Amino acid sequence: MSSATAPGQPLSQVPDQLGRFGQFGGRYVPETLSAALDQLQQAYDDALADPAFARELDDLLGAFVGRPTPLLFARRLTELAGGGQIYFKREDLSHTGAHKINNTLGQALLAMRMGKRRIIAETGAGQHGVATATACARFGLECAVYMGAEDVRRQSPNVRTMRLMGAEVRPVESGSRTLRDAINEAMRDWMASVETTHYIIGSVVGPHPFPRIVRDFQSVIGRETIDHCQRLFGRLPDTVVACVGGGSNAAGMFYPFVDHADVRLVGIEAGGRSSGEGEHAAPLSYGTPGILHGSLSYVLQDTDGQTADVHSVSAGLDYPGVGPEHSYWRDTGRVEYTNVTDAAALETFDTVARQEGILPALETSHALAWAVEEAARMQPDQILVVCLSGRGEKDAAEIARLRGQTEAAD
Ligand SMILES: *Cc1c(COP(=O)(O)O)cnc(C)c1O
**Rounded to an integer, what distance in angstroms lies between the CA atom of residue 293 and that of residue 33?**
12
Going by the DSSP 8-state scheme, the letter that residue 293 receives in this structure is T
Q: How far is CA 365 from CA 220, 316, 347, 358, in A?
A: 22, 12, 9, 11
According to CATH, the topology of domain 20-62+100-214 is Rossmann fold (3.40.50)
Q: Give the residue with greater pLDDT, 318 vs 240.
A: 240
The answer to whether 20-62+100-214 and 66-97+219-409 have equal CATH topology is yes
**Rounded to an integer, what distance in angstroms lies between the CA atom of residue 301 and that of residue 64?**
40
Query: For 379-392, what is each residue's pLDDT tens digit?
Result: 999 999 999 999 99
Going by the DSSP 8-state scheme, the letter that residue 126 receives in this structure is S
Query: For 24-75, what is each residue's pLDDT tens digit?
Result: 999 999 999 999 999 999 999 999 999 999 999 999 999 999 999 999 999 9
Among residues 89, 94, 116, 122, the one annotated as catalytic is 122
The confidence band for 154, taking pLDDT boundaries of 50, 70 and 90, is confident
Tell me which of 112-121, 151-160, 266-275, 400-409 is least confident: 400-409
Angle between helices 100-113 and 210-218 (to 10 degrees): 120
Q: Measured in angstroms, how far is the CA atom of residue 79 from the centroid of ligand 1?
A: 27
Q: What is the mean pLDDT of residues 368-377?
A: 98
Q: Measured in angstroms, how far is the CA atom of residue 317 from the centroid of ligand 1?
A: 7
Q: Measured in angstroms, how far is the CA atom of residue 318 from the centroid of ligand 1?
A: 10
**Rounded to an integer, what distance in angstroms lies between the CA atom of residue 131 and that of residue 145?**
11
- Indicate the top mutation candidate among 88, 95, 249, 337 to test ligand 1's pocket, ranked by most ligand atoms within 8 A of CB: 249
**Rounded to an integer, what distance in angstroms lies between the CA atom of residue 321 and that of residue 295?**
10
Decide: helix, strand or coil at residue 87: strand
Question: Does 9 score more than 90 pLDDT?
Answer: no
Decide: helix, strand or coil at residue 290: strand
Residue spans per domain, the chain: 20-62+100-214, 66-97+219-409
CB of 246 sitting under 6 A from ligand 1: yes
- Residue-level pLDDT at 407: 53
Phi, psi of 185, deg, nearest 5? -65, -40
Closest to 149 measured CA to CA, from 132, 127, 124: 124
Going by the DSSP 8-state scheme, the letter that residue 304 receives in this structure is T
- Residue-level pLDDT at 3: 45
Q: Measured in angstroms, how far is the CA atom of residue 214 from the centroid of ligand 1?
A: 13
- Indicate the top mutation candidate among 130, 203, 215 to test ligand 1's pocket, ranked by most ligand atoms within 8 A of CB: 203
Q: What is the mean pLDDT of residues 16-22?
A: 96
Respond yes or no: is residue 100 known to be catalytic: yes
Q: Measured in angstroms, how far is the CA atom of residue 130 from the centroid of ligand 1?
A: 13
Ligand 1 atom at minimum distance from 91 CA: 13
Query: For 169-215, what is each residue's pLDDT tens digit?
Result: 999 999 888 888 899 999 999 999 999 999 999 999 999 999 999 99
CB of 363 sitting under 6 A from ligand 1: yes
Respond yes or no: is residue 2 known to be catalytic: no
Decide: helix, strand or coil at residue 314: coil
The confidence band for 277, taking pLDDT boundaries of 50, 70 and 90, is very high
According to CATH, the topology of domain 66-97+219-409 is Rossmann fold (3.40.50)
Q: Work out the angle at residue 382's Cα, subtended by the Cα atoms of residues 368 and 243, and round it to the nearest 5 degrees.
A: 25
- Indicate the top mutation candidate among 100, 218, 352 to test ligand 1's pocket, ranked by most ligand atoms within 8 A of CB: 100
Among residues 219, 314, 327, 389, the one annotated as catalytic is 389
Q: State how beta strands 197-199 and 71-73 pair.
A: unpaired
Tell me the CB-side half-sphere exposure of residue 343, using CA atoms within 13 A. Answer: 4
Residues 6+ apart with CB under 8 A from 346: 313, 362, 365, 399, 402
Q: Whose CA is nearest to atom 13 of ligand 1?
A: 390
Respond yes or no: is residue 185 known to be catalytic: no
Residues 6+ apart with CB under 8 A from 353: 359, 360, 392
Question: Does 2 score more than 70 pLDDT?
Answer: no
Q: Whose CA is nearest to atom 5 of ligand 1?
A: 245
Question: Does 102 score more than 80 pLDDT?
Answer: yes
- Residue-level pLDDT at 16: 96
CB of 103 sitting under 6 A from ligand 1: no
The confidence band for 406, taking pLDDT boundaries of 50, 70 and 90, is low
**Rounded to an integer, what distance in angstroms lies between the CA atom of residue 269 and that of residue 315?**
12
Q: Whose CA is nearest to atom 4 of ligand 1?
A: 245
CB of 364 sitting under 6 A from ligand 1: yes
The confidence band for 1, taking pLDDT boundaries of 50, 70 and 90, is very low
